[in-house]
Amino acid sequence: MTARLAAALLLAPCSLLAQLELYVVQGGAESRVIDNYSIGAVAIGDSVDTAFRLRNPGTSAVELDTLSAAGAGFSLVNAPHLPVSVSAGAPLDFTVRFQPVAAGGHSAYLQVNGGSVLLLATGLAPPAVLLDNVALAPGSAVDFGSIQSGSSASRTLVLKNQNTDPVLVSQLAVGGTGFRGPIGISAPLTLASQQSVEFDVVWEPQAAGAAEGLLTVNHATYRLLGTATEPPLPKPQIVIEPQAPSSGQQVRLSIRLAEPSPASGSGELRMEFVGPSDPGAGFLAPPGLSATFTVQRGEDMARFGASTEITFQTGTTAGTIIFTALLGAHTDQASLQLAAMPVMIDSASAVRGTGSLEVTVNGFDNSRTAGPLVFTFLDRSDQVLVPIRVDGAAAFAQHFQTANAGGLFALRAVFPVTGNASVVDSVDVELVNAVGTVRRNVKMTE
């Protein structure tokens, strides 16, 4: 039985040679194939196309009615539509594709009419990917852990050919936002039997959140996973300019960071007035006692909108203003002591009417202790005509308790005049509080 089987196999190429000749085409050159042809070793997942050519060496046409490649992993590509007539001396081209289905030897009969040629090939296990000396199964994950955005983490992987034949690594790529590599090698490369090479994959996240990438080795893929967290924001420092303001002023405030911020974020600035209620103490824009600020990656100053400063009013009441800046896990505080001061006169006017003189004073008393007033009327030579003393303590106290205007006041005093009022040229207005005395000379107008 064995001898008869061997004889049958030997008859196959003879039958083929009687009608058509088979060639393999490589680089444009033809090589005759008699009874078998070895395609070589191919990694699982890859494929190899081999170009074949049939020639009719006879003097008359030969009809080709059978052309097949019977065997696991073998298939015909661009095969002719059968039956087809091959003219004398004419070629006919087709391709055999080998794509191994398992590691180990593969074979197929290339059937041409009544003859056949044995095709041989080897399926190679794909190159193994090792992490910490452990082979990873295709589809498994390489975990980069949890790191801060703006930093980086790397993993060293190993490619190893565990076959007895060389294996071609035709594709080696890393994809995914923030992932880069492979570092240290590039495809295509051929690994000899049991040869291994190292390469690195680096992850550099630029934003917080979960990330996923992909490592591709030939037709196998491996997931790249990582979680990025925002780095801690730097400590804020409140800066006030001028450093020692008083009541009735508008002051600039900024927030300096201890270092350029490694991430973008936002914080809150709070303002608290310790003392009698004063609606005039607060931020201008946006108005109120709190404001949001932002920090940008790489900058060392906080921003209030587009500006690095915010303006606040100190109000018109003596007391303490406390600022609190909250940014991430950090808190900074700064305070301003607004000392009691003499009455501040913002504006004053005096009007000479028919039979009366009217004096108006606008200002503020941050101590809220104003009381005695003195109006001294003068002629054009600055000679005193008459001083008038008024005890305004009760009126001021009533005003500060009920007006809800901080230390602001508007004073209007009317003095009847008997005789010629035109001799009065100006009036010295004197206001006294617990801190001191302030005087203002006001010219008379009609």
Q: What is the DSSP string of 166-209?
A: -EEE--EEEESTTEEEEES--SSEEEPTT-EEEEEEEE--SSSE
Does residue 127 carry a pLDDT above 80? yes
User: What letter represents residue 278's amino acid?
Assistant: D
**Higher-confidence residue: 114 or 129?**
129
Quick one: which of 100, 85, 1 has its CA closest to 47?
100
* CA 253 – CA 322 distance, rounded (Å): 12
- Tens digits of per-residue pLDDT, 46-60? 889 999 999 999 999
Whether residue 127 contacts residue 161, with contact meaning beta carbons closer than 8 Å, is answered with yes
Whether residue 123 contacts residue 42, with contact meaning beta carbons closer than 8 Å, is answered with yes
At 325 the three-state DSSP class reads strand
Does residue 5 carry a pLDDT above 50? no
Average confidence (pLDDT) over 396-401: 96
Quick one: which of 154, 158, 163, 156 has its CA closest to 197?
158
* Residue 286 binned pLDDT confidence (cut-offs 50, 70, 90): very high
Structure tokens at 61: 């046409």
Quick one: which of 99, 106, 112, 102 has its CA closest to 12?
112
Average confidence (pLDDT) over 334-360: 95
What pLDDT, on the 0 to 100 scale, is given for residue 3? Answer: 32
Does residue 423 carry a pLDDT above 60? yes
What pLDDT, on the 0 to 100 scale, is given for residue 315? Answer: 97
Quick one: which of 397, 444, 402 has its CA closest to 422?
444
In terms of DSSP bridges, do strands 62-64 and 84-86 run parallel, antiparallel, or are they unpaired? Answer: antiparallel
The mean of the pLDDT values for the chain is 92
Longest CA span, the chain: 157
* Residue 17 binned pLDDT confidence (cut-offs 50, 70, 90): very low
CA atoms within a 13 Å half-sphere pointing along the CA-CB vector of 123: 18
* CA 256 – CA 242 distance, rounded (Å): 15
Backbone angles phi, psi at 164, to 5 degrees: -90, -10
* Residue 348 binned pLDDT confidence (cut-offs 50, 70, 90): very high
DSSP per-residue string spanning 44-90: TT--EEEEEEEE--SSS-EEE--EEEESTTEEEESPPPSSEEE-TT-
* CA 251 – CA 310 distance, rounded (Å): 8
| Domains of the chain and any CATH numbers | 2-124 (2.60.40.10), 128-229 (2.60.40.10), 236-338 (2.60.40.10), 344-445 (2.60.40.2150)
Lowest mean pLDDT among 34-48, 74-88, 258-272, 344-358: 34-48
**């003499």: which residue's tokens?**
342
Give this prediction's pTM: 0.62
Structure tokens at 280: 């005039």
* CA 251 – CA 242 distance, rounded (Å): 7
Average confidence (pLDDT) over 390-398: 95
Kindly provide the residue ranges of all beta strands, DSSP E only, lying in 149-297, ordered along the sequence.
153-160, 167-169, 172-175, 179-183, 189-191, 196-203, 209-217, 220-229, 236-241, 250-257, 265-274, 281-283, 290-295
